[in-house]
Copies of this chain bind each other. A is one copy, B any other.
Amino acid sequence: MAERIEAIAIDGLGEIVPGDDLPSLIADAVAAASDILPLRDDDALIVTQKIVSKAEGAIVDLTTIEPSPVAQEFARRHDRDPRQVEVVLREAKRVVRMANGVIITETHHGFVCANGGIDASNVGPASGSIVTLLPKDPDASADRIRTAVRERLGQDVPVVVSDSFGRPWRLGIVDVAIGVSGLRPLDDLRGKPDADGRVMRSTVRAVADELASAAELVLGKTAARPLALVRGASFMRGEGRIDDALLPAEMDLFR
C-alpha cells in the first residue's frame, strides 16, 4: 500500500461542446500540466461524466420532448419538469422506485441511480433546456481517453469516468465509477491473509469508486473542473469493465 496518495486537479480543458475530440483535449491538458509530469505507473486519470456526455453529444434539449401522461402527473405532484421526467423514463431499462418525488431507475448500462444519471447542472451557459444523459458506453469512452493519453505521452494511464450517485440510506452524493479502462474496478482480497494471517472472507475493495470519490474532493461540484489525476493509490491494472462492479440481478435484494 502507498504511504501517500494525491488527487491533483488538471486545469485547462475549457468549455466542452458536442463534437469536441475530448480524448485529444484531455491528452493536451495532461501534457500541459508540467507539474505532474512525468506520469507514473501508479497514476489514474478521473474524468467526470458531464464533459464526456457533452463531447459525445449525449444531451437532450428538453424543448424537443413531449412528456407522457405519467411523466406529467408525477412532475405535477412533485414540482418537477415533466420533460425531464419523461427523459428519465425513456432512458430507463427498469423503474426501481418512483415515489416521494424521487425516480430511481436502472439504466441500460445496469446502473441503479436517481434520475437515470440525467442532470441539468453545469451543462454550459444559456442552456436552460439542455440536460446530459449518461454516455452510451462509458468503458469505451474511458478506452478512447486512455488511448489518446498513451499516444501523446507514452504512458498507459488507467482512466475512470466518474459520476455522482446517491445512496439509499445516506444523504448526499458521492462520486463513483461509471466507466473504466486499464484497471480492475474491484480489488479482490478474498483468500488473502489479513494483518493477523487470517484469511479474509469478504473483502473486495471497490477501488475505482474510491478513486472517483478521492478525485471529487479536489474537483468539487461548483467549479468547472472535470479532470483529475490520482497518484499513488493501490489498484490492479488490467482490462476491467464497469460491469465487473455491478451486482448481478439475482443477488439484488432491493429490486
Chain A 110-123, CB-CB to B under 8 Å as 1, else 0, gives 01100000001111
Interface residues of A in 177-194 (CB under 8 A from B): 185-187, 189, 192-194
CB nearest neighbor in B for A223: B1
Is A77 in contact with chain B by the CB < 8 A criterion? Answer: no
Is A68 in contact with chain B by the CB < 8 A criterion? Answer: no
Are A5 and B4 in contact, with the CB atoms below 8 A? no
Q: How many positions in chain A have a CB within 8 Å of any CB in the partner chain? A: 81
Contacts of A112 in B (CB 8 A): 168-169
The answer, among B194, B197, B205, for a CB contact under 8 Å with A216, is B205
Tell me whether A171 and B247 are in contact in the complex, defined as CB-CB below 8 angstroms, given that A218-B1, A219-B1 are known contacts. Answer: yes
The answer, among B167, B194, B224, B230, for a CB contact under 8 Å with A122, is B194
Tell me whether A196 and B123 are in contact in the complex, defined as CB-CB below 8 angstroms, given that A97-B253, A102-B253, A174-B206 are known contacts. Answer: yes
Residues of A within 8 A of B (CB): 1-9, 97, 99-100, 102, 104, 111-112, 120-128, 164, 167-176, 185-187, 189, 192-198, 200-201, 203-207, 209-211, 213-214, 216-225, 230, 232-234, 244-247, 251-254
